[in-house]
Structure 1
Amino acid sequence: MITARNPRRINNGFHQLTREPALMIGVLIITGLLVLFILYPMFAAAKMSLTPDGKFSGSVYRYVLTHSQYLSAIRNSVLLGAIVASLATFIGFLFAFALTRVRIGGKKFFQGMALLPIISPPFMFALSVILLFGRNGLITSKLLGMDMANIYGLKGLVIVQTVSMFPIAYMTLSGILQGIDPDLETCAMNLGAKRGRAFLTVTLPLALPGIFASWLLVFVSSLTDFGNPIIIGGNFNVLSVQAYLEFTGMGNLPRGTALAMLLLVPTVGVFFVQKYIMKNKSYVTVTGKSSRRSTAQSSAALRIILTFVCAAISGFILLFYATIIGGSFIKLWGINWSFTLNHFVYSWDVGFTTMKNTLFLAIVSTPITALFGMAIAYIVVRKDFPGKHLMEFISMLSYAIPGTAVGIGYILAFNKAPFELSGTAFILITCYVFRNVPIGVEGGIAALKQISNEIEESSINLGATSAATFRKITLPLIRPALFSGATFAFVRSMTAISAIIFLVSARWNHMTVLILAQTEIMRLGAASVMSFALIIVIMVFIFIIMKVTGLGREQIFGTTK
């Protein structure tokens, strides 16, 4: 409903735009870019699925929704997502609770282990599971002498997705739990409640919205995951892979696009629900962080149990990484265990140019993504103009769009005049920027809301323009958020797969696509070397960012001690 205040606010917004030409130009350019590279590809994909023969028709969707092959893929995706979301959220909560509410040893180590999967290639854990538990797996074949080839399918996907996605829940819940005053539990226990009852009646209810939001985030991540299912999915067909196979393998563009659009419906819906929950999380942190202590009282037994759980999960993660490193030096995994450097030689010959191109594209796109996200955040938070909420919505929308849908949309939108960009570096960089810009926008909005408007207003009153004020005053103040967004953008660019697999070319290939190709032809040694090299490059970049900026791991990744 439109209130009486809205027309006045709109007039004030127009007045600000006309008073600041630079702001008007910036708003128009940003809006145009968001429409062109986010909305237009989705429109092109939707159009393809609804006009298979050039005329509007719902026949493709009717076919998909009435055939068991596709219905099975939908059911499998939902089942997998629900299982992984439940397990990953549970593990993420245990980690977050242990590191923020309980005094256990090795917190820095466990926090590093909880963040390590974030910087890994999307299917590195799938490759590790094959090497450990596959037909010629180290554990199943060499140590136990048993056949576990059925690791392919639901069982294997649950393992790899849970390990790779529980950090999403951990990062969300660590902030939620740290914001709940430990004295609330202490007060409950002083009134006669046992520790367990105090947790169940105080801490858990206050954390429930965050738990639900984390569950939804992991559910969407599982639903849209492409790298792991295509490697270890086996006969367990899921929607993201089915859309890819229909579009590329079978050449059925309308059907592949329709499947990608179906994948878009739950992800966008969950995105809005999660945003609503987190927007209203203020009642979770009722009294703020305790000024006297950051952890609640806990028993020795609880500390031992949580330490064991964190150690077990961390050991499992390290086992996966050790397997990748070991696989790089084994001649033929499961058959010939002799030491060799041939995989390094082969990977250098095959992958050096691809690694160089991958690094170049990520380095170019990273500062653009970070600065573009901060510019949007600054305009949305500090300026008042018609359509600013729509700008924020569109900029954040790409976070909810599955990579498969993005890749298909980009192919359809930019493969013909007037935007013939397929096969170029520009289309890959553009995809990176607009896929990752929500990270910078969200971080920038959070940082700007902590900075008083009076600082910038004083600068403008002294004659500085908005652009100069942003560059000289605001940007230095939001430096941690800027570099945090840049780090995440770099990592996501280096480990992308689902969107860019549609956009790579012989000239501009990507390391993850090359690793996938090596895995498919069972060159697991080479795939291990390339995965290991990719992780090393990412870790070196993060180390350089931390040294150059002086920011700690907590600031870079937005987590708490």
Structure 2
Amino acid sequence: MPKSQGRALDRKKLLADPILVAAIIGIFLFLFLFILYPLAILLTDSVVVEKNINGTTLKTIGFANFIKIFKMTNFRHAISNTLWLGLISGIGSTVIGFLFAYVDSYVDVGSKIVKKLFGVVSILPVVSPPFVLSLSAILLFGRTGVITRGLFNMNNTQLYGWRGIALVQILTFFPVCYMMLKGLLKNIDPSLEEAARNMGAGRFKVFQTVTFPLLLPGIGNAFLVSFIESVADFANPMIIGGNFDTLATSIYLQLTGAYDKSGATAMAVVLLVISMGLFILEKYWLERKSVATLTGKATRGRAAITDSSVRIPLVTICTLLTVFVISMYILVPFGSLFKIWGRDYHLSLKWYEYIFKNKGYRVFTDSMLLSAIASPITAFLSMIIAYLVVKRKFFAKGFMEFVAMLAMAVPGTVLGVGFIRGYNSGLFHSGILSGLYGTGAILVIVFIVRSLPIGTRSGIAALRQIDRSIEEAAYDMGADSAKVFQTVTLPLIKESFISGLVTTFVRSITAISAIILLVTPKYLLITVRINEHAEKGNYGIACAYATILIVITYVAITIMNFVLGKLGTSKPTKEV
């Protein structure tokens, strides 16, 4: 049989290459130890009930932990709060993201500066910590805010609660929806819409009957992505939430405030089930539907809308939103320079002096060192996984890809609880690898796990564009798999490798939800310090830390763009 013979030949080739076999085993071992195992322990411990009978602790299987947490009024409120917030943030982010994408793709903006500002808005959430907008919102609309106290002399503010969280989440997540929908809009063939116009349909009718139906799966995808981000968000609800509890903050408080490990574990499982359900819905239903609906690319350019009745209101709304978002980001550096926010607006460097007199150098060196260690390891691992998935045939290849992408669906707080339960007493509570807990190594591993899906997706996309015959030629010359990967494959995907390197660094140095439960006084990290000072109301210090962090990430991305620009252009050769 041709198929069976092909499988036998692939198996023979695989077993004849010990380096390839070792790479597959090593990758599966890493994925098992640091993704599957913490989640499995989390699920197992959530149904293990400890009972003390006559001084002896007995363990039984049951749902007592879940019954206990669902009896808590605060936890039931946290579930409804989380879903409500996800709905509001998802709708708001998708609507604003779609508006920006439509204006960028369909409307004659009329100004290159405005176009560049749209680009700035799309990159700002990448180079900034996840809670910068929360700090800005407090500086503007908080109890001592410029607008609430300075302009209107208001003592009470509605900022702290679901309204404030929804505001900052929408402004943080809508650029992601904008970039997703922008690509889909540019791929719609303009001849479809022009055909409807030629049949006598008005502009709104064309949008209603042609453009919107084609985009509907993509809009659903963007909504679910922002919904998942909102459900998993920890930093913004922690800083600006007030008494409005979400699942992510409830897990943290149950573990650090109530010292209830079993309750926190059960809560983490509930959040994991919600996020995994949304992830599976987005990945295996809406993504496939989007690909089937929008195929190929536009055959030619689209004539931009110049009608003033359409152009002026849409461009004005987007420009005002852009200026507002950029102003909120700019407000953070100003917040770090004022002596006392809300009282004394004289410029001063006192908060920066405070930072560096109080172990500031160590905060930045620890954060940069751990992120710098995680970056090359993540980039290399993700490229190997992508290479194995795309270029090699072996048993459980699809499973490897699924597990590598799984961390994308796991909220940071859930992963943190999983690592605590999994490694606090060692592997399977045996004491093996218990020395990992509380060290910098476990923080580096969490950074790797959190960034692995992005690097893997980037590598898979790059490798699918490389013809198989290029590598086969190297094999025919006698090179083994390691040599082919090092000398042929990696140079061809160097752009994706460098992009993954810098993306991991940026994501690691700005991470908080996954490490807040794992960090110890041994390591001082920037995001943890920002969170601590923001909770205490020391907004000047928090803004100073955040400003330096933004500068670090912006410099890292600038270096990446410079290097990629150099790699993308070939040097001119002299004719002899």
Secondary structure at the counterpart of residue 61 of structure 2: coil
Residues 103-502 of structure 1 aligned to structure 2 (within 5 Å): 103-104=108-109, 105=111, 106-276=114-284, 277-290=286-299, 292-294=300-302, 296-297=304-305, 299-350=307-358, 351-416=360-425, 417-419=431-433, 420-502=435-517
Secondary structure at the counterpart of residue 516 of structure 2: helix
Q: 2-side partners of 1:7 and 1:62: how far apart? A: 51
Deviations along 1:459-510, whole A, 9 cap, x unmatched?
2223222222222222222233223322321221011011101111112121
* 1:78 equivalent among 67, 75, 83: 83
Secondary structure at the counterpart of residue 513 of structure 2: coil
Conserved 8 A contact 1:100-1:295: no
Q: 1-side partners of 2:2 and 2:254: how far apart? A: 51
Q: 2-side partners of 1:473 and 1:517: how far apart? A: 47
The aligned counterpart of 2:94 is 89
Secondary structure at the counterpart of residue 345 of structure 2: strand
The aligned counterpart of 2:14 is 17
Give the superposition deviation at 1:108.
Answer: 2.5
Q: 1-side partners of 2:10 and 2:49: how far apart? A: 43
Aligned-residue CA RMSD (Å) = 1.9
Deviations along 1:99-124, whole A, 9 cap, x unmatched?
22333233232112122122211111
Identity over the aligned pairs, expressed in percent? 38
Secondary structure at the counterpart of residue 385 of structure 2: helix
Q: 1-side partners of 2:93 and 2:403: how far apart? A: 29
Q: Which has the larger radius of gyration?
A: 2
Give the superposition deviation at 1:42.
Answer: 1.0
Give the superposition deviation at 1:81.
Answer: 0.3
Q: 2-side partners of 1:183 and 1:95: how far apart? A: 22
Q: 2-side partners of 1:525 and 1:439: how far apart? A: 33
Conserved 8 A contact 1:519-1:527: yes
Q: 1-side partners of 2:69 and 2:34: how far apart? A: 28
The code of the aligned residue for 1:496 comes to A
Q: 1-side partners of 2:2 and 2:205: how far apart? A: 48
- Structure 1 residues 295 and 110: alpha-carbon distance in aligned structure 2, compared to 1, 3 A threshold: farther
The aligned counterpart of 1:43 is 40
- Structure 1 residues 249 and 5: alpha-carbon distance in aligned structure 2, compared to 1, 3 A threshold: farther
Q: 1-side partners of 2:211 and 2:410: how far apart? A: 33
Secondary structure at the counterpart of residue 193 of structure 1: coil
- Structure 1 residues 7 and 309: alpha-carbon distance in aligned structure 2, compared to 1, 3 A threshold: farther
Secondary structure at the counterpart of residue 501 of structure 1: coil
Matched residues, number: 549
The aligned counterpart of 2:53 is none
Deviations along 1:121-153, whole A, 9 cap, x unmatched?
111111111111011111111012223432100
| More off after superposition, 304-313 vs 514-523 | 304-313
Q: 1-side partners of 2:479 and 2:195: how far apart? A: 52
* 1:531 equivalent among 536, 543, 546: 546
5+ long unaligned stretches in structure 1: 554-561
Secondary structure at the counterpart of residue 150 of structure 1: coil
- Structure 1 residues 79 and 6: alpha-carbon distance in aligned structure 2, compared to 1, 3 A threshold: farther
Deviations along 1:414-439, whole A, 9 cap, x unmatched?
22321121221111111100111000
The code of the aligned residue for 2:506 comes to V
| More off after superposition, 158-167 vs 97-106 | 97-106
Give the superposition deviation at 1:14.
Answer: 2.8
TM (norm. structure 2) is 0.92
Conserved 8 A contact 1:206-1:284: yes
- Structure 1 residues 81 and 432: alpha-carbon distance in aligned structure 2, compared to 1, 3 A threshold: same
| More off after superposition, 392-401 vs 343-352 | 343-352
The code of the aligned residue for 1:418 comes to I
Give the superposition deviation at 1:309.
Answer: 2.1
> Does 1:64 find its partner at 2:72?
no
| More off after superposition, 212-221 vs 276-285 | 276-285
Q: 2-side partners of 1:376 and 1:462: how far apart? A: 24
Q: 1-side partners of 2:375 and 2:450: how far apart? A: 11
Give the superposition deviation at 1:458.
Answer: 2.2
Secondary structure at the counterpart of residue 140 of structure 1: helix
Q: 1-side partners of 2:244 and 2:440: how far apart? A: 34
> Does 1:545 find its partner at 2:560?
yes
Give the superposition deviation at 1:453.
Answer: 1.6
Q: 2-side partners of 1:536 and 1:38: how far apart? A: 32
Conserved 8 A contact 2:416-2:515: yes
Deviations along 1:248-297, whole A, 9 cap, x unmatched?
1110001011111100012111111111222342333245223x315554
Deviations along 1:440-466, whole A, 9 cap, x unmatched?
111111122222222222222232222
Q: 2-side partners of 1:20 and 1:280: how far apart? A: 39
The aligned counterpart of 1:34 is 31
Conserved 8 A contact 1:13-1:386: no
- Structure 1 residues 355 and 107: alpha-carbon distance in aligned structure 2, compared to 1, 3 A threshold: same
Q: 1-side partners of 2:174 and 2:543: how far apart? A: 23
The code of the aligned residue for 2:21 comes to M
Secondary structure at the counterpart of residue 158 of structure 2: helix
TM (norm. structure 1) is 0.94
- Structure 1 residues 466 and 552: alpha-carbon distance in aligned structure 2, compared to 1, 3 A threshold: closer
| More off after superposition, 296-305 vs 69-78 | 296-305
Conserved 8 A contact 2:161-2:242: yes
Conserved 8 A contact 1:114-1:314: no
Conserved 8 A contact 1:176-1:284: no
Give the superposition deviation at 1:316.
Answer: 1.4
The code of the aligned residue for 1:517 comes to E
